[in-house]
Amino acid sequence: MGLFRKKKKNAPFASNAFQKTLHKNLEFTAVEQYKLLRTNLDFTLPEGEACPVIGVTSSMRGEGKSTTAINLSYVLAEKGSKVLLIDGDLRIPSVAKKMGINSSMGLTDILMGKGAQISDFQSELLNNWYILPSGEIPPNPSELLGSNRMESVLSGLREKFDYIIIDLPPVNIVSDAVSISSLITGMIVVIREDYTEKKDLEHCFRQLNLSNVNILGCVMNESKNEGGSYSKYKKYKYYKQAPYGETN
Ligand SMILES: Nc1ncnc2c1ncn2[C@@H]1O[C@H](COP(=O)(O)OP(=O)(O)OP(=O)(O)O)[C@@H](O)[C@H]1O
Ligand SMILES: [Mg+2]
């Protein structure tokens, strides 16, 4: 089977099985892959940048963005860094549900100055891991994510954390990931093997390149190559040089 699928499947993954794909419930192989992603990231992030802000996006829905954002932030925190995971999918947020936490307060409350404090969002699993749900769904997610207010909130948060990971909606569906691109250090693009379509990924890269975002690399979610069955991290350069490899 090639890297890309020609026809989309309807249900990408069994939704009731998602807990097995997250943080402390991960299988050994998956944990190792996320640790590798953590290590590789250190090589692609700009040297000496205090608190990089890393967006996680993909071309379409259901490719594993939220799973990747949760697990990446978890392995970073597990190693001792102070990490903030933000649910920046202000249209169909899923981080709070996946983590089983209260979603009534979150990013939009902080953006609106509604009195929410970041200390309220400390995770019960690790005391150096903070999880900020989306908050109430706003009418204008794209404008909000790219706003001056978001910029100043992020710059305040950067003083408190070592890493900020933002789970974003897909690039080809809405402009939110592109809107926030000038406020972040770089973007990780998730590709789901045997699901992501080549034309969709090309469109996604075109949009991200137009916004001048620094694409840090790609995560191959559910990759079946090289013994592992989970995520693999590839440098974006690979996709530039050999666009999308052998597809069939
Ligand atoms: N490697 C994996 N193996 C098995 N299931 C997975 C894997 N990655 C993600 N899933 C499952 O696939 C579903 C979609 O994943 P996820 O929510 O992370 O995707 P997404 O790209 O964030 O979707 P959306 O665009 O809707 O926000 C979830 O049920 C999740 O548990
Ligand atoms: Mg998601």
CATH of the domain at 109: 3.40.50.300
Owning domain of residue 55: 16-241
Closest approach atom of ligand 1 to CA 68 = 18
Contacts of 140 (CB under 8 A, 6+ apart): none
The answer to whether residue 201 sits within a structural domain is yes
Task: Let me know if residue 9 belongs to a domain.
Answer: no
Kindly state whether residue 4 falls inside one of the protein's structural domains. no
Residue nearest to atom 1 of ligand 1 (CA): 222
| 222 ligand 1 Cβ < 6 A | yes
Has residue 191 been placed in a domain?
yes
For atom 19 of ligand 1, the residue with the nearest CA is 64
SS3 234: strand
Residue 156 Cα to ligand 1 middle (Å): 30
Q: How far is the CA of 64 from the centre of ligand 1 (A)?
A: 4
Task: Identify whether 1 is part of a domain.
Answer: no
Angle (CA) 152-157-162 rounded to 5° is 140
Rounded CA separation 36/33 (Å): 5
The pTM of this model reads 0.89
Extract the runs of DSSP E, i.e. beta strands, from 63-185.
83-87, 129-132, 163-167
- Please check whether residue 5 lies inside any domain of the structure: no
Per-residue pLDDT of the chain (248 residues; tens, 9 = 90+): 445 554 444 444 444 566 778 888 888 888 888 999 999 998 999 999 999 999 999 999 999 999 999 999 999 999 999 999 999 999 999 999 999 999 989 999 999 988 889 999 999 999 999 999 999 999 999 999 999 999 999 999 999 999 999 999 999 999 999 999 999 999 999 999 889 999 999 999 999 999 999 999 999 988 776 544 455 666 554 444 333 332 22
CA 103 – ligand 1 centroid, Å: 19
- Other CB atoms closer than 10 Å to residue 46's CB: what's the count? 10
Nearest to 174 by CA among 89, 85, 55, 93: 89
Residue 119 belongs to a domain: yes
- Ligand nearest to C-alpha 98: 1
Structure tokens at 105: 């307060």
The residue with tokens 């090639």 is: 2
Q: What is the domain count for the chain?
A: 1
The residue contributing the CA closest to ligand 1 atom 31 is 18
Q: Is residue 248 part of a domain?
A: no
Q: Cβ of 30: how many Cβ atoms within 10 Å?
A: 19
